[in-house]
Amino acid sequence: MSEPLSVNSIVATRPTAKEIARRVDASIQAQENAIGAWHWYDPKRLTAEAERLDALPHRGPLHGVPVAIKDVIDTADMPTEYGSALYEGNRPPSDASCVALLRNAGALLVGKTVSTEFAFKAPGKTRHPFDPTRTPGGSSSGSAAAVAAGMVPFAFGTQTSGSTIRPAAFCGIVGYKPSFGLIDRTGIKVLADSLDTIGLFARNVADIATVAALLAGRPTLAAAAPTREPRFAVFRTPSWNLADEDAQKNFEQSLLKLESRGARLQTLEDPADYLALLSAHETIMNWEVPRALAFERLTGSHALHPTTREGISPLPGLTADDYDAACALAADAMQRWASLLENFDALLTLPARGEAPIGLASTGDPIFNRAWTQLRLPCVTVPSGTGRSGLPLGLQLVGAPRTDGRLLAASRMAEAALS
């Protein structure tokens, strides 16, 4: 089988979209039965779309780059069912902002990937691409699996707790949750308004950077070379004991590899507010989710997965005062962490508790993601070898607020050191 497609190789060699569509379709046909990455995919539409792109008078900068789109992100020419039976047959009137921008750049929109219902907890059908008995992670399950399987070189996800970083780590690919507000999220199904962020999946950091630069209107994001002698803060977190032993060991080995390539490491003492932040994130979701999904909860409850129905119900006893206190704590913490991180290229931490867990009933635990999402910080996970079952592990890098370019450059360094 040929090398999987990459964004930058397509940009550099400029094949026809038709040729790319043929390869994408072959890869999907060969693997989809086993993986179930797609919520909606139509090979005829893909071919037609490729032909349309090839016939355009001018080719966009991402001409023919195949893109998978998580089903909670609106598309005007494909169904968008938010992973929910309640939205069966839904066809939005417009593309989400991120979709419109890639479409305009000439990207080849391939189809919709499986999401948990509303990007919340109830899993979809997707299996881990390297072990069908395991979850690929979630909520962006299909996007992570499709990129890991080489079906597409790039996919969109979202992250409200750990829905991009965790599945990317489980699947052995690169995941990127930008700084909150860096990439416009208009047109996604809202889960928690103060947290939802577009997520990006690719097979390498350079591919992520190319697309992120275009989406964010920040050309410098694409330009950064791997950082030489980066300064990293090492933070094992108070949840360290929840990580699997092989993941802990792999983390320590990763640190040694990075040091041997010139990285300067400094261990962070447990900041006092970390556990409070996890609790604040939980409170904020418990308050916002039942409000964002008020229609679904009050009018469409019958059609929802029981896990969703329970998860989006207002938490008895939770008050606006609790929510306000959580927001105030998070706002204070953002300031402290901004100072804490400003002298580092990134903080290093685990992206997940370990390898993808066995079973499809849960997409795994976002315990190593929630604080960073709450702090609105940019996060990247890069592949970092394998665990006890031969499945991928990752290393998470977290940047200071809005230092996405610096973080991507440091991530390129880490990616090279750990590959």
Which chain residues interact with its own copies by CB under 8 A?
76, 87, 90, 93-97, 99-101, 103-104, 181, 184-187, 190, 193-194, 216-218, 287-288, 291-300, 314, 319-320, 324, 327, 402
Among candidate residues 70, 121, 177, 189, the one labeled active-site is 70
Q: Which is nearer to its own copies, 330 or 382 (CB)?
A: 330
**Cα 337 to chain centroid, rounded:** 22
Task: Give the integer Cα–Cα distance in Å for 87 and 299.
Answer: 12
The first and second tokens of residue 40, run together, are: 């909606």
Q: Residue 341 half-sphere exposure, CB side, CA atoms within 13 Å? A: 27
Burial of 47 (0-12, 13-18, 19+ CB in 10 A): middle
Q: Which is nearer to its own copies, 203 or 297 (CB)?
A: 297
Q: Which is nearer to its own copies, 106 or 150 (CB)?
A: 106
Instruction: Give the closest residue to 155 by CA, choosing from 168, 172, 137.
Output: 168
Least CB distance to its own copies at residue 144 (A): 25
- Number of Cβ atoms within 10 Å of the Cβ of 40: 17
Least CB distance to its own copies at residue 95 (A): 4
Instruction: Give the closest residue to 195 by CA, choosing from 210, 185, 206.
Output: 185
**Cα 247 to chain centroid, rounded:** 20
Least CB distance to its own copies at residue 120 (A): 14
Instruction: Give the closest residue to 364 by CA, choosing from 168, 194, 132, 178.
Output: 168
Question: Active site includes 260?
Answer: no
Contact at 8 Å (CB) between 142 and 38? yes
**DSSP assignment of 257-306, as one string?**
HHHHTT-EEEEPP--TTHHHHHHHHHHHHHHHHHHHTHHHHHHSGGGS-H
Least CB distance to its own copies at residue 154 (A): 18
Q: Which is nearer to its own copies, 212 or 348 (CB)?
A: 212
Task: Give the integer Cα–Cα distance in Å for 345 and 60.
Answer: 33
Among candidate residues 27, 84, 97, 139, the one labeled active-site is 139
Question: Active site includes 2?
Answer: no
Burial of 335 (0-12, 13-18, 19+ CB in 10 A): exposed
Question: Active site includes 313?
Answer: no
Least CB distance to its own copies at residue 131 (A): 36
Q: Which is nearer to its own copies, 35 or 216 (CB)?
A: 216
Least CB distance to its own copies at residue 99 (A): 8
Among candidate residues 84, 140, 161, 163, the one labeled active-site is 163
Q: Which is nearer to its own copies, 130 or 287 (CB)?
A: 287
Question: Catalytic positions, please?
Answer: 70, 139, 163
